[in-house]
Structure 1
């Protein structure tokens, strides 16, 4: 195992993967006598707009390329294979097309990496996950390329490669909702490890409104004053320590993770310790802590995650053994599979860990466990399951698991994330093979997926890392990610010069459309490369492997991230300083993920007159928007004795503003008449008060 360091490197095999157990013997034999691989057949090919696909094969491969484990792609006899690819496309072709390279093999336990090199030998793009097939997607720029296949765990397998010019997936138009705004809140400089906060977790207690930010050994509590705008924050270090009852607190860790049960306010902090964790929990917001078993027997050695929610009615023995109302789950990756253990006493003890999948199904690494708030279904997302992003799903309290893929997706290098709406709609945000941020929606627990789309296209985002998704009402969700508008190989520490920002994309219509904002437009989160290759990275792994997001009790989105570019780095032209500063991005304005807290207009006729001019009676009214949000397309309708007489032309009305609406004169018969003005007569506009839209008077002729 790796010793703890100030940056807490994750325990894993090089290149961000665990080596299959089946490969261990093969590695030894292969290194002793490495037979040369067969040359690619054919060894070159071309694609163009008139001949869009070419295929080749290579192998068998007997020995792993050990240089590939350090990020080097040096070839030796039998240790990789090169295919020469020539691309010819006309001007503008890349607006609607892309170059897709796929390399696959027969034995799912084997593993290969794919690198696309330009004519000078520079890496344009790579796919070095555990996926079969490995997929690279890049713009179809004319030129000469090399597709290099590097065996990571070959197991004697041959590979088949395909290079194709394919259509760029169609994308719906961006949402038209008013985008929310965010403010950034950095932890106090007095916190000793405030600048050592890579891969943070964040959670919100809906019981108290407090936010909890976990990174390394530290737990920070943030409380909010929302009577001012932007909100004010008060930070408190509430970290688990021996003096507070957590004997293992602040001592050692191979991988930190935090979880806050929104319903109960119980806060968990967990430090990886081999095939279990050193876990403590607090029921008084960090004033005191209590020890936990940490995880179940047979838990894994890496990539731990903790989550919880209601018990599944279909769970076997899924009944609480204490007064704590929710189930708690501890999931982690082992060498050849990933496992999840459940707790029925609020995380004090855990049952045995049960495999979610093996390397025959998915790559070992996975995202954060989430539990559906409506029925207790458990979801653990994975970035590479047979070439797709997927979720491991348990509908019986973690007793059995199914892997459910999004067939429209491609595998990526960052862990995906899921958010689950109030009625069970699942939103999965992920980094696609071309680096772009995409999100898909499932309304049947991952069995089928719809509305898979690129949510960064409107802002020109080409590269994405660290997806984090949360949901509130069933039709509302937010997808946070760190993105760059610079294209190219974002892990190339020498040549990638892009700036990275924190983006949040939000849907208010169940994932049919999304509106995306750059929450740090003048303050980069990182400059240059970001490595997602695990412990083989250089100093550009300062942000480590993930970030997190949560939703507070009023539906505000809060993103816990590490700011890697601070001080002089954040100034124009500043040099990257590879910081990892504990920071929260918190929603300030706009509709939240809970419709009950929406800022809404309120339309009401505040005054009304009926004046006689000649033989006609003309009506006018003052229509006011007394709410907290603008209203568009506002109309008013005149009724005389209940009969629809006239409707005003639509107009927009800002919050706090009013306008005068005049109706044409009408002829009245002798007698008394009821004259009424109704604003928004068809009920098209959602208002904070739907009961004050009418004003009426009587007129006697």
Structure 2
């Protein structure tokens, strides 16, 4: 079997194929021209230096193994001196950019310190390649390695820039999460390097794809933390999926939340071996697997409501939603749509070419309000971007976030109920950033670092989900250790699973470490595909979903188990199928928020002198605190007094005393009303009154 890591190396191989064709045309490789000038300095008073080099005719073959050896005439070194005062790095950063004219070419950039150690690298398919690091004084080498030069020259710049301003983090109460590992008896429980996860909103079941296997989790939320029951519901020949459980170049799972249909796709070149289930894995049916002219790599499957625009907008079967199969090919990436629930697919349509974006892309997502389709990409002209179709996959547009920088991990998008798009990504400096679009990716706002408050320096595997239009969560694996996180020899960071959540439409985010005592990985995480060698337990992505009550669920591979996790032992390079599931706090659906409930539990009236004074006990029987709680006293329907507002934590009560009133002879109706003007949103608005009869 070919490893699921095939996708990353295959992308480089495709570019290499183009390079080989060009080199064959040019003949013998010509010597590369040295950098002009050969050195430069940046400082607090002179913040930019630039250079050019080339043309480069032949690739440096050491780049195929992730090495940075500068073979004679096949790479370029630029000597960079950085001179900054103490504290300069608190508000500034060093940005190195290397670009070229022909977007089909591919160069890699490495920043070496004075000892020759790699400080940072940018070895994707981005143009320009960008490195962002702290502006520490010293002597450096900027090494440009031609991976697929196509006869191109390069232009480099090193600039000291201001750190991007970041808004204050959210003051919302952070949600909490519990971790659930698949049973050890499951065949692929420790072979889940590229997991997918989905939730059926019809039944509440969760489905986790671990290579060939599909695992079902059902939840008992009557206790905290929730209890889980696992079952192996994998697609097999015995269950009707003739191609199940045998071979794969890449695994992908998708669960349609509204219909409950579960898909499992195993890459097989220019299609996939795909099956689907409508009974939660009890039986499976075969699918065409993808459309004609689909790509050979890095497939993604998703779906949602049909777009009212475009060809074939209406379903051709009783299945309610459209299904999309998107993948990478040699010179482009394309997407095929299905209007019969994924049974068959139309021809694949190009989303972009390698002149627009790098080949690899993130997971396809469909807007729940209007069927707009989004496929995110980490490198489109040096920016993160989304390929967008507003007509059911008939035509596509690439829409960039101009404030972003290209990274090494696929970005991810989540789409809110009314179409707000949240894009989470790994920036060039390794930090986790997220941006928001309210016009289908045409413009972006609120681009910010959601890991700054926790000191997160490096990030991999973004996964974003949304619920209500103003609520979304961004999951990622991160570490507070700075430096080159792909350096297996020297990087010693400890990685954890983080989830950042917004409740105000992306203006602010609250970030929580969901595995504070149980690291997901120790040491490096390589995102360079099969060039990583043994440093390759976690592959290219993870996934996240939202259940029917708005709880966030993250499907990830735990790479550090046993003694590695509990005893601080050496990294054991596991890939254990694990779900992080939200346990407390507001979810992504406001309708399920914990709410207070205000009710008067006691009321009495006593005579003191010639006056009658009322005393009431007001309780908060709900699951959330309440503030500004006033209580009003009425006698025979007349408003007599209103108490000063007070705060009531969940489960607490308070005694409220009212000033005495005069009562005439006879029987009087005395009423107290908690929150009489309806300022507090409650789980039960019908139990706010208490009434007694008083006779004088």
Q: TM-score band (shorter)?
A: over 0.9
Alignment of 1:640-655 (within 5 A): 645-651=641-647, 653-655=648-650
Q: CA deviation at 1:357?
A: 0.3
Asked whether 1:360 is paired with 2:364, we answer: no
| Residue 377 of structure 2: aligned partner | 382
Secondary structure (helix, strand or coil) at the match of 2:535 reads helix
Asked whether 1:90 is paired with 2:85, we answer: yes
Structure 2 residue corresponding to 1:517, chosen from 512, 530, 533: 512
Structure 2 residue corresponding to 1:261, chosen from 251, 256, 263: 256
Structure 2 residue corresponding to 1:575, chosen from 566, 570, 575: 570
Alpha-carbon distance change, 49 to 657 in structure 1, aligned in 2, over 3 angstroms: same
Measure the CA separation in 2 of the matches of 1:57 and 1:325: 56
| Residue 679 of structure 1: aligned partner | 674
Q: CA deviation at 1:146?
A: 1.1
| Residue 454 of structure 2: aligned partner | 459
Structure 1: unaligned runs, 5 residues or longer: none
Alpha-carbon distance change, 141 to 14 in structure 1, aligned in 2, over 3 angstroms: farther
Instruction: Tell me which moved more, 635-644 or 221-230.
Output: 635-644
Alpha-carbon distance change, 616 to 149 in structure 1, aligned in 2, over 3 angstroms: farther
Given the two structures, how large is their TM-score scaled by the length of structure 1? Answer: 0.95
User: Is the 2:8–2:528 contact (alpha carbons within 8 Å) kept by the matching residues of 1?
Assistant: no
Measure the CA separation in 1 of the matches of 2:126 and 2:643: 61
Asked whether 1:496 is paired with 2:491, we answer: yes
User: Is the 1:606–1:624 contact (alpha carbons within 8 Å) kept by the matching residues of 2?
Assistant: yes
Aligned residues: 695
Q: CA deviation at 1:680?
A: 3.5
Alignment of 1:262-277 (within 5 A): 262-277=257-272
Asked whether 1:28 is paired with 2:24, we answer: yes
Asked whether 1:399 is paired with 2:394, we answer: yes
Residues 113-156 of structure 1 deviation map (CA, whole Å, 9 limit, x = unaligned): 11111111111111111111111111111111111111122122
User: Is the 2:11–2:360 contact (alpha carbons within 8 Å) kept by the matching residues of 1?
Assistant: no
User: Is the 1:478–1:557 contact (alpha carbons within 8 Å) kept by the matching residues of 2?
Assistant: yes
User: Is the 1:673–1:699 contact (alpha carbons within 8 Å) kept by the matching residues of 2?
Assistant: yes
Asked whether 1:471 is paired with 2:460, we answer: no
Alignment of 1:158-237 (within 5 A): 158-237=153-232
User: Is the 1:418–1:468 contact (alpha carbons within 8 Å) kept by the matching residues of 2?
Assistant: yes
User: Is the 2:23–2:29 contact (alpha carbons within 8 Å) kept by the matching residues of 1?
Assistant: no
User: Is the 2:16–2:147 contact (alpha carbons within 8 Å) kept by the matching residues of 1?
Assistant: no
| Residue 532 of structure 2: aligned partner | 537
| Residue 483 of structure 1: aligned partner | 478
Residues 182-222 of structure 1 deviation map (CA, whole Å, 9 limit, x = unaligned): 11111111112211111010111111111111121111111
User: Is the 1:15–1:534 contact (alpha carbons within 8 Å) kept by the matching residues of 2?
Assistant: no
| Residue 421 of structure 1: aligned partner | 416
| Residue 296 of structure 1: aligned partner | 291
| TM-align CA RMSD | 2.1
Measure the CA separation in 2 of the matches of 1:681 and 1:16: 67
Residues 655-692 of structure 1 deviation map (CA, whole Å, 9 limit, x = unaligned): 22111123455678999987654433554432212333
Q: CA deviation at 1:411?
A: 0.6
| Residue 126 of structure 2: aligned partner | 131
Measure the CA separation in 1 of the matches of 2:695 and 2:654: 27
User: Is the 1:379–1:394 contact (alpha carbons within 8 Å) kept by the matching residues of 2?
Assistant: yes
Structure 2: unaligned runs, 5 residues or longer: none
| Residue 9 of structure 1: aligned partner | 5
Alpha-carbon distance change, 294 to 613 in structure 1, aligned in 2, over 3 angstroms: same
Measure the CA separation in 2 of the matches of 1:152 and 1:382: 20
| Residue 71 of structure 1: aligned partner | 66
Asked whether 1:596 is paired with 2:587, we answer: no
Q: CA deviation at 1:49?
A: 1.8
Asked whether 1:341 is paired with 2:342, we answer: no
| Residue 51 of structure 1: aligned partner | 46
Alpha-carbon distance change, 695 to 95 in structure 1, aligned in 2, over 3 angstroms: farther
Instruction: Tell me which moved more, 680-689 or 82-91.
Output: 680-689
Alpha-carbon distance change, 386 to 104 in structure 1, aligned in 2, over 3 angstroms: same
Q: CA deviation at 1:700?
A: 8.3
Residues 541-563 of structure 1 deviation map (CA, whole Å, 9 limit, x = unaligned): 10111111111111111111111
Q: CA deviation at 1:20?
A: 7.0
Asked whether 1:19 is paired with 2:15, we answer: yes
Q: CA deviation at 1:631?
A: 2.4
| Residue 622 of structure 1: aligned partner | 617
Structure 2 residue corresponding to 1:248, chosen from 230, 243, 247: 243
Measure the CA separation in 2 of the matches of 1:19 and 1:644: 81
User: Is the 1:27–1:153 contact (alpha carbons within 8 Å) kept by the matching residues of 2?
Assistant: no
Q: CA deviation at 1:89?
A: 1.8
Alpha-carbon distance change, 314 to 20 in structure 1, aligned in 2, over 3 angstroms: farther
Secondary structure (helix, strand or coil) at the match of 2:564 reads helix
Measure the CA separation in 1 of the matches of 2:624 and 2:298: 43
Given the two structures, how large is their TM-score scaled by the length of structure 2? Answer: 0.96
